[in-house]
Amino acid sequence: MSPVLQPMTYEELSQIYREEKNGKALMPCRQDLYRAFADLLTRLRQDYDREIAKDPDSIMAEGANQKRKKAETQIKFITSLRARKICNKAVLSADGNIEELNALTPEERDYYEQLVSLSKAQLTLVDGYRGKKTVNTLIDEPHRTPAPEIPVKEPEPMPEPSEAIASGVEDEFPPTSDEAELMDSAMEDEFYESEPDDIVQQPAEPEIVSAEETPVLEADTMVIRVLEDLPPFAGPDRDYELHKEDIVTLPKAMALVLVNSQKAAAVTPSL
């Protein structure tokens, strides 16, 4: 994996997560987004391993573990949501729309181009089964010379009324304007009476599929009373610096570490 342009911080990841989650469109991002994601997860895992090596039961180790898990959850959500938005862009592009692609990373552009090709094949399935050749013309394609026009054969002259009557072909007389209007009206009535009520409409422009909001890993909380001064440690959402007799609410997993190590006592809220 090539090196990232600049290491991503945990705070930067949280900001990308909020923007992508709240925005309907594909949000602009750094071009090394996915490499930066991988690099961040690697560094968070190394931080966790270091704390485990020092003391696997320490609050610092538990805080590093919670931070690592939350980063993995957020990155998975961002990757999935951006993929959905890119799919929507590809379908719209295959259907003739002009899409803005500045927000895509190089990896996402490759993904997008493959999706456009597959979407064009999918959208022309019916025409293919009908034996109709579909040519997708792009705006920047060179001008094509139109096919030569086929001469239209002149219609044969209608027989005179006297000749038609004599030969028994009265039905070949063209109807008058009033008769033609009545015939057209009757044909329309017959068509709508024979067709079902739910006449097929043109498909609406597909909407951006909103991904279900995936909850970020949130541990149950627990209220504790700190029994001694503690060194600063990192939590999944913030850094902590606790002192003796502090009453705080912590994620349950971290609180239990302090309680089990007799550095804190659980506080039962009074009813």
Backbone angles phi, psi at 176, to 5 degrees: -70, 170
In-domain check, residue 109? yes
Residue 100 counted as domain residue? yes
How many beta carbons lie within 10 A of that of residue 45, not counting itself? 15
Integer CA distances (angstroms), 161 to 36, 174, 178, in order: 87, 11, 19
Residue-averaged pLDDT of the chain: 77
pLDDT value of residue 211: 40
pLDDT at 147: 54
- Give the whole-angstrom CA distance, residue 88 versus residue 95: 11
Which domain covers residue 259, as residue numbers? 218-271
Query: To which H or E segment does residue 82 belong?
Result: helix 59-94
State the CATH number of the domain containing residue 9: 1.20.58.1030
Task: Provide φ and ψ at 3, rounded to 5°.
Answer: -65, 155
Beta-carbon contacts of residue 240 (< 8 Å; ≥ 6 apart): 59, 63, 230, 232, 233, 234, 248, 250
Domain-embedded: residue 144: no
What is residue 251's predicted lDDT score, i.e. its pLDDT?
Answer: 85
Q: Is 60 exceeded by the pLDDT of residue 172?
A: no
* Digit-coded pLDDT (tens) for 205-215: 444 444 444 44
Residue 195 in domain: no
Last residue of a domain, one of 95, 120, 139: 139
pLDDT tens per residue, range 225-243: 888 888 887 777 777 888 8
State residue 134's pLDDT score: 60
What pTM does this model have?
0.58
Three-state DSSP class for 189? Answer: helix
Task: Say if residue 227 is in the same domain as residue 128.
Answer: no
Min mean pLDDT across 9-13, 35-39, 225-229 is at 225-229
Q: Categorize the per-residue pLDDT at 136 as very low, low, confident or very high, splitting at 50, 70 and 90.
A: low
Do both 8 and 132 map to the same domain?
Answer: yes
Give the end of a domain, one of 139, 167, 197: 139
Single-letter amino acid code for the residue at 109: R
Listed residues 139, 159, 191: the one ending a domain: 139
Determine the Cα–Cα distance for residues 215 and 210; give it in Å rounded to an integer.
15
